[in-house]
């Protein structure tokens, strides 16, 4: 029996917002899309990517990720390296380079690993024309074997789609969508340079429902300029009425010294930390009342969504795209700055577009950074990911899988959890550690207790838990 399975009634939400405890334990922490985290990257050795691809286990299915870095509009809250172009053209020869990279990597793989997941992110993948998106999909169908019940998703920008785009995506084989709304208040949209009226959001949702996309995610952000407690509550009320299958509700981190676009946001227009915390609490309560299941780290889903079901059945995972229902896959990333995770190896492509394109044109594999996890990393990754996905650390399962005495091995970490236990965030027992409803919003703070890489040199590189 899966010790992390915890079948619950469909009205399960299981999260309690305690403002005082959140203020006490709110701290900078990694998002743990991997362990070790990307902060541990080192320059890759010559020939290492070739060897990693050649030695990939062909029995492990594949998850494919494609990074499309282009946008036509600069959103001022953005903290990503996106390429803004207002030309009415395609993304130049970027698709050609993607296809060359796919051929390079695919030629090195042994066997015939089945693709179970695919995601196009960015940037704005719908920056590609409908014809280019179809060309990419058709090429991938020729190169790989796709599982008929796989999860094939794409991020879209409702402002940057042709009338035929959603239908072209669905006809190709995409079955899941994600798109950003961030906020529906006009004053907020103007302040962050993302004008996206409510009627546009509703129109996209209605068309996606008509085309029978299996799961639709909407992103919101709290803490944006000119947001108020009441305006954020009104946005959440309208989004609940629009009824996405999944929701991601992110904290806006204002770091203009690191992200140039954020310099266009005035500090005095931002809500106070106290108001931000109230916005988050109100949002969690409103979504729980609307029967959304709290997944963890900003994410919510309808109880009948595949992500919520996977969590209740102990099958949820995290990777560089966030929470995933099929975590046994090797991840192959394509495009500038994309990340791959193959067995014990994590690799990142060059982050400069021109350098990436030059490497591909010269027949070079594009990874320039690398992490190889050690057995002790595998143990701690297992613990961190199960805490964040299933709110539990099961001693018996860990002992059996890793051949250790977990209570003895982690005696220092368990001692550090006693204060959280006294505050009702976690429950410590002879069988394991359980994150309680009060602790779920602070899951990253619990997980980081088991992260042995955390040092002062990384302290200013994380975002706050809340």
Give residue 85's pLDDT.
67
Give residue 26's pLDDT.
87
Running DSSP on this structure, what letter comes out for residue 298? Answer: T
Give residue 84's pLDDT.
66
Give residue 9's pLDDT.
42
Using pLDDT thresholds of 50, 70 and 90, give the confidence band for residue 161.
confident
**At 393, is the secondary structure helix, strand, or coil?**
strand
> What is the strand order of the sheet 432-435 is part of?
392-394, 432-435, 426-428
* Sequence-ordered alpha helix ranges (H) in 247-332: 273-289, 306-312
Q: Can you tell me the distance from the alpha carbon of 376 to that of 336, in angstroms, rounded to the nearest whole number?
A: 31
pLDDT digits (tens, 9 = 90+) for 256-268: 998 889 999 999 9
Q: Can you tell me the distance from the alpha carbon of 260 to that of 267, in angstroms, rounded to the nearest whole number?
A: 14
Average pLDDT over residues 272-284: 96
pLDDT for residue 191 is more than 80: yes
- What distances in angstroms separate CA 24 from CA 20, 21, 419, 443, one per listed residue? 6, 5, 11, 14
pLDDT for residue 228 is more than 90: yes
pLDDT digits (tens, 9 = 90+) for 301-317: 999 999 999 999 999 99
pLDDT digits (tens, 9 = 90+) for 411-436: 999 999 999 999 999 999 999 999 99
pLDDT for residue 13 is more than 70: no
Give residue 90's pLDDT.
53
Using pLDDT thresholds of 50, 70 and 90, give the confidence band for residue 10.
very low
For strands 463-464 and 392-394, give the pairing: unpaired
Model pTM?
A: 0.92
For 175, the token pair is: 């079955």
Share of the chain above pLDDT 90, in %: 83
pLDDT for residue 12 is more than 70: no
pLDDT for residue 11 is more than 50: no
Sign of the alpha-carbon torsion through 264, 127, 319, 50: negative
pLDDT digits (tens, 9 = 90+) for 169-184: 999 999 999 999 999 9
pLDDT digits (tens, 9 = 90+) for 139-160: 999 999 999 999 999 999 999 8
Give residue 326's pLDDT.
81
Average pLDDT over residues 194-200: 95
φ, ψ of residue 383 in degrees (nearest 5): -70, -50
Q: Can you tell me the distance from the alpha carbon of 443 to that of 434, in angstroms, rounded to the nearest whole number?
A: 11
Using pLDDT thresholds of 50, 70 and 90, give the confidence band for residue 462.
low
Using pLDDT thresholds of 50, 70 and 90, give the confidence band for residue 333.
very high
pLDDT for residue 351 is more than 50: yes
What average pLDDT is seen over the chain?
A: 92
Average pLDDT over residues 312-334: 90
Average pLDDT over residues 381-399: 96
Long-range contacts of 398-406, Cβ-Cβ distance < 8 Å, separation of 24 or more? 402/378, 404/379, 406/432
Give residue 88's pLDDT.
45
- What distances in angstroms separate CA 35 from CA 20, 32, 344, 383, one per listed residue? 30, 6, 10, 10
Using pLDDT thresholds of 50, 70 and 90, give the confidence band for residue 450.
very high
- What distances in angstroms separate CA 249 from CA 52, 219, 277, 279, 410, one per listed residue? 36, 6, 13, 11, 33
């Amino acid at each position: 029996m899966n010790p992390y399975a915890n079948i619950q009634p469909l009205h399960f939400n299981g999260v309690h917002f305690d403002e005082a405890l959140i203020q006490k334990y709110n701290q900078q922490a990694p998002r743990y899309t991997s362990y070790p985290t990307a902060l541990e990257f080192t320059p890759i050795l010559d020939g290492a990517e070739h060897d990693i691809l050649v030695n990939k286990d062909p029995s492990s299915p594949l998850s494919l990720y494609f990074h499309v870095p282009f946008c036509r509009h600069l959103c001022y809250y953005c903290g990503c390296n996106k390429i803004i172009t207002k030309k009415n053209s395609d993304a130049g020869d970027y698709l050609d380079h993607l296809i060359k990279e796919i051929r390079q990597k695919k030629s090195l793989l042994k066997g015939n690993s089945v693709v179970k997941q695919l995601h196009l992110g960015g940037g704005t993948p719908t920056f590609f024309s409908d014809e280019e998106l179809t060309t990419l999909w058709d090429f991938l169908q020729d190169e790989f074997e796709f599982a008929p019940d796989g999860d094939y998703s794409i991020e879209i920008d409702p402002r940057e789609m042709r009338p035929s785009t959603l239908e072209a995506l669905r006809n190709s084989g995409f079955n899941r969508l994600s798109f950003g709304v961030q906020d529906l208040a006009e004053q907020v949209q103007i302040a962050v340079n993302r004008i996206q009226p409510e009627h546009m959001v509703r129109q996209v949702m209605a068309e996606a429902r008509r085309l029978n996309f299996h799961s639709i995610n909407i992103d919101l952000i709290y803490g944006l300029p000119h947001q108020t407690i009441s305006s954020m509550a009104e946005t959440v009320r309208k989004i609940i009425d629009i009824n996405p299958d999944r929701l991601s509700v992110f904290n806006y981190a204002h770091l203009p010294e690191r992200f140039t676009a954020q310099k266009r946001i005035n500090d005095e227009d931002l809500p106070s930390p106290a108001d931000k915390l109230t916005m988050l609490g109100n949002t969690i309560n409103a979504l729980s009342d609307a029967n959304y299941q709290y997944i963890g780290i900003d994410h919510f889903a309808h109880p009948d969504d595949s992500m919520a079901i996977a969590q209740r059945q102990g099958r949820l995972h995290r990777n560089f795209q966030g929470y995933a229902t099929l975590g046994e896959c090797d991840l192959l990333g394509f495009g500038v700055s994309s990340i791959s995770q193959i067995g014990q190896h994590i690799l990142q492509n060059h982050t400069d577009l021109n350098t990436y394109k030059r490497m591909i044109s010269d027949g070079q594999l594009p990874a320039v950074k690398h992490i190889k996890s050690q057995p002790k990393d595998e143990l701690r990754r297992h613990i961190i990911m199960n805490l964040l996905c299933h709110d539990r650390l099961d001693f018996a399962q860990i002992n059996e899988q890793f051949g250790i005495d977990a209570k003895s091995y982690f005696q220092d970490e368990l001692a550090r959890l006693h204060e959280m236990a006294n505050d009702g965030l976690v429950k410590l027992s002879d069988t394991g550690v359980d994150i309680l409803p009060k602790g779920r919003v602070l899951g990253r703070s619990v997980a980081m207790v088991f992260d042995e890489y955390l040092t002062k040199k990384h302290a200013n590189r994380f975002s706050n838990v809340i």
